[in-house]
Amino acid sequence: MNPNDELAELLFPEIKETIEDLEARFPPRQLPEGAQVTRFAPSPTGFLHTGSLFTAMISSTVAKQSGGVYCFRLEDTDTKRTVTGSDQDLIDQLAAFGIVADEGYFPNGDKGAYGPYRQSDRASIYKTVIKELIREGKAYPDFCTPEDLDQIRKIQEEKKILPGYYGEYARDRNLTSEERIARIKAGTPWVIRYRSNGDHERKTKFTDVIRGEIELQENDTDVVILKSDGLPTYHFAHVVDDHFMRTTMVTRGEEWIPSTPIHLDMFRALGWKVPKYAHLPSIMKLDNGNRRKLSKRKDKEAAVSYFLDQGYPAEALKVYLMSIANSNFEEWSITNKSFDIDKFKFSIKKMSFDGALFDMDKLNYFSREVIVRMPLEEEFEAVYEYAKAHEEVFAKRIESDPIYFKRILNIEKDSKNPRKDYAKYSDIYPIIRYFYPDEYDKIAASELPFNPAYSKELIAAMMEDFKGMPFGVDENTWFGFIKEVGAKHGFASSNKDYKTDPSAFVGSLSDAAGVLRVAIVGSTLSHNLHEILDILGHDEVVRRLEIIKSK
């Protein structure tokens, strides 16, 4: 047997398949022209980063809008970082954002013909490729210990040259297969390295979908492709998986740009077609005037769970991320009066490649728009689910009278210009708690924000008169009554009259309504007062007027 074959056999006796067999097992996909196969490939570290959600969303959108396939691949080869059980969390969190893979790893069984989709289940696939690379002399077992590698690094530091395992510094690169066989048989620990034919004095190029042509130093490092635990490194797994899963576009974070020459080197050595690369921008944060990546350690906004815990609708975060992805989205949403990102034609080519600054105000803006547009039943369910998980008191209120709460949520739903008070579900209860009589009593027990120019007597007299207000009438009729009460107490009957000579009146017409608002709601701002009064009903309104009158 030729020594390379013998070495390959000694290392991987259990591997019987060949690359050709894998090619047949995972044939090129039959997809329409332009359809993209994308993937999201997180590591199960127990944390869904906002930047990862962004990547997942872009990957799935590109696949969906091109009529392609979106895969979910679990990259669990770094066993030290893997958090058991977090694969399900990841999948659940993505599902909360409506991001569900067409194909991929699911804890209770893979879906799709290009799996397995969990890297730790693919060891034999990686080994099949490596076995063949070893036969061809394109990969080799390396016996360096961490101390040996340190030694090499020191020499390179002294010589002030590029660090790494390459060329003459790749100590075990030129051992003969016979020598390797002898060491393996003697029980020396090994890893497998890829034998690069590159030269870092030369340049290599690729066209990034977002950034255009990128030119970098060629790779000449003999990178580790199989670790001593029998699992591949990221570099090798990326090349093998994206080839055999027939990925057409690799959407991944921009931090992978510097390693791309390694991947190009391996794709070419294997004679495989290089997929398109789209390196997505990082989401940034301003920190003391400096831009930096959102940090898992320092920033609460780095965790997707933060937004869900705060009660942002998943849809709102997606809409916000879409506005980062394509800067024309915001204008589109205004022109089309729609925040439905599925209707928006996303263009990955138009993506900005400067990392966007995470902007809470912008998120709040989009979230208000999303919440205000939610159909009542959907909003009710979402708020109730949120309250059950995060706000016990609020949940109990809802349960005490769901129909009453629905009426509260429904205020201004049909209005052309509704108030947009809720940016997140946790904003709701503090704003609407005055609807519940015992909460109102607490509010009314404290100082209320009446205009200090109005005397106690004036307010008391107005309360008495407001008790006669009609219920079950349209807003105009009701407002006519408010006007009458106002006029009786010296308020102007129209804004025009008031503007002509403010000094002739106690206040404007809206000031008169404002007195009623403060009395009923405890605040100078609220949703439509007529609707509020209608929900509270005659008895509760009169009770409140009495309380204020006798304060």
Least Å from the CB of residue 76 to ligand GLU: 9
Which among 40-48, 180-188, 404-412, 523-531 is the span making contact with ligand GLU, rule CB under 6 A? Answer: 40-48
Least Å from the CB of residue 358 to ligand GLU: 19
Least Å from the CB of residue 346 to ligand GLU: 19
Integer Cα distance of 128 and 548 in angstroms: 82
Q: Does 489 participate in binding ligand GLU (rule CB under 6 A)?
A: no
Member of 7, 42, 280, 319 binding ligand GLU (CB under 6 A): 42
Q: Considering the complex, state which of residue 126 and residue 166 has its C-beta at the smaller distance from ligand GLU.
A: 126
| 152: phi then psi, degrees, rounded to nearest 5 | -60, -45
Integer Cα distance of 329 and 314 in angstroms: 17
Member of 15, 48, 63, 75 binding ligand GLU (CB under 6 A): 75
Integer Cα distance of 175 and 142 in angstroms: 9
CB 221 within 8 A of CB 153: no
At 205 the three-state DSSP class reads strand
At 139 the three-state DSSP class reads strand
Which among 36-44, 414-422, 457-465, 480-488 is the span making contact with ligand GLU, rule CB under 6 A? Answer: 36-44
| 357: phi then psi, degrees, rounded to nearest 5 | -80, 135
Q: Does 43 participate in binding ligand GLU (rule CB under 6 A)?
A: yes
Which among 38-46, 105-113, 142-150, 215-223 is the span making contact with ligand GLU, rule CB under 6 A? Answer: 38-46
Q: Considering the complex, state which of residue 252 and residue 424 has its C-beta at the smaller distance from ligand GLU.
A: 252
Which among 41-49, 270-278, 368-376, 425-433 is the span making contact with ligand GLU, rule CB under 6 A? Answer: 41-49
CB 266 within 8 A of CB 194: yes
Q: Residue with structure tokens 């205000």?
A: 372
Q: Which of the residues 244 through 283 are near ligand GLU (CB under 6 A)?
A: 252-253
Integer Cα distance of 92 and 102 in angstroms: 15
Which string of x and - marks every residue 165-184 that binds ligand GLU (by CB under 6 A)?
A: --------------------
Least Å from the CB of residue 293 to ligand GLU: 13
* Token output for 477: 């009729």
CA-nearest of 261, 256, 294 to 75 is 256
Q: Which of the residues 314 through 353 are near ligand GLU (CB under 6 A)?
A: none
Q: Considering the complex, state which of residue 61 and residue 526 has its C-beta at the smaller distance from ligand GLU.
A: 61
- Per DSSP, the residues of 209-270 read TTTEEEEEEPP-B--EEE-TTS-B-HHHHHHHHHHHTT-SEEEEEGGGGGGHHHHHHHHHHT
Which among 35-43, 278-286, 445-453, 471-479 is the span making contact with ligand GLU, rule CB under 6 A? Answer: 35-43
Integer Cα distance of 380 and 313 in angstroms: 12
Q: Considering the complex, state which of residue 42 and residue 311 has its C-beta at the smaller distance from ligand GLU.
A: 42
At 105 the three-state DSSP class reads coil
Least Å from the CB of residue 302 to ligand GLU: 14
Distances (CA, A) of 171 to 7, 153, 297: 18, 12, 38
* Token output for 465: 């008169």
Q: How many residues bind ligand GLU (CB under 6 A)?
A: 7
Least Å from the CB of residue 49 to ligand GLU: 9
Least Å from the CB of residue 104 to ligand GLU: 13
Least Å from the CB of residue 376 to ligand GLU: 39
Asked if the peptide bond before residue 146 counts as cis, ω within 30 degrees of 0, the response is: no
Residue nearest to ligand GLU (CB): 252
User: In one letter, which amino acid is 265?
Assistant: D
User: To 10 degrees, what angle do helices 402-409 and 376-390 make?
Assistant: 120
Least Å from the CB of residue 197 to ligand GLU: 24
Q: Considering the complex, state which of residue 114 and residue 422 has its C-beta at the smaller distance from ligand GLU.
A: 114
Member of 37, 41, 129, 459 binding ligand GLU (CB under 6 A): 41
38 CB-near residues (< 8 Å, 6+ apart)? 59, 60, 62, 63, 68, 69, 70, 71, 247, 248, 249, 250, 251
Which among 39-47, 164-172, 265-273, 352-360 is the span making contact with ligand GLU, rule CB under 6 A? Answer: 39-47
Integer Cα distance of 134 and 142 in angstroms: 12
Which string of x and - marks every residue 219-248 that binds ligand GLU (by CB under 6 A)?
A: -------------------x----------
Least Å from the CB of residue 241 to ligand GLU: 9
CA-nearest of 128, 103, 127 to 31 is 103
Least Å from the CB of residue 348 to ligand GLU: 15
Q: Residue with structure tokens 């589109």?
A: 332
Least Å from the CB of residue 72 to ligand GLU: 11
Q: Considering the complex, state which of residue 275 and residue 313 has its C-beta at the smaller distance from ligand GLU.
A: 275
Task: Tell me which residues touch ligand GLU (CB under 6 A).
Answer: 41-43, 75, 238, 252-253
